[in-house]
């Protein structure tokens, strides 16, 4: 019976780790590998307003999301240590399944322009024209 209970806890904490990582760590990776480099690219091409604060907000998001994940992990290892393995397996699976989301793709571009359109000095279409040759 103890083995069954251990498997149930492993399964529960696997899903907690999977969910926590997909809402925090995957977003951190998107910011690091897409958001910040893309913003810098647009700034170099003078497509964004000067002193727009986008990177500063992305850095704040990095800190908040990282702190949230670390907080959840800390609570688990301090109060429910038996859940640590399942949580870590869920985290790894989330990263493995979500690694394709961290690059430049349609969803990230749409989210980026929707969030930051007020800082563009040109239309979204013109901004895309400015950067499209970098990806061809």
Question: Distance between CA 134 and CA 68 in Å, rounded?
Answer: 35
Question: Distance between CA 84 and CA 122 in Å, rounded?
Answer: 49
Q: What local confidence, expressed as pLDDT, does residue 56 receive?
A: 97
Does the pTM of the predicted model rise above 0.85? yes
CA distances from 85 to 8, 11, 50, 80, 93 (A): 12, 10, 46, 11, 12
Question: Distance between CA 81 and CA 74 in Å, rounded?
Answer: 10
Tell me the average confidence (pLDDT) per consecutive run of 10 residues in the chain, 136 residues long.
91 98 98 96 93 96 98 97 96 96 93 95 86 70
The answer to whether the beta carbons of residues 101 and 22 sit under 8 Å apart is: no
Tokens for 125, please give them: 């279409």
Domain that holds residue 88: 2-135
Total tally of structural domains belonging to the chain = 1
Would the CA dihedral through 59, 65, 69, 72 be positive or negative? positive
CA distances from 76 to 41, 80, 82 (A): 39, 5, 8
Would the CA dihedral through 74, 23, 14, 99 be positive or negative? negative
Q: What local confidence, expressed as pLDDT, does residue 48 receive?
A: 94
Q: What local confidence, expressed as pLDDT, does residue 131 receive?
A: 81
């Amino acid at each position: 019976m103890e083995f069954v209970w251990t498997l149930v806890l492993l399964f529960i904490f696997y899903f907690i780790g999977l969910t926590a990582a997909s809402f925090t760590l995957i977003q951190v990776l998107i910011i690091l590998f897409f958001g910040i480099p893309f913003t810098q690219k647009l700034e170099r091409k003078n497509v964004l307003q000067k002193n727009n604060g986008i990177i500063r907000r992305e850095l704040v998001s990095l800190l908040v999301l990282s702190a949230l994940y670390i907080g959840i992990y800390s609570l688990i290892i301090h109060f429910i240590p038996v859940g640590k393995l399942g949580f870590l397996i869920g985290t790894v699976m989330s990263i493995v399944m979500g690694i394709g989301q961290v690059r430049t793709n349609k969803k990230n571009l749409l989210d980026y322009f929707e969030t930051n359109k007020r800082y563009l000095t040109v239309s979204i279409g013109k901004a895309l024209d400015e950067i499209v040759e970098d990806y061809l």
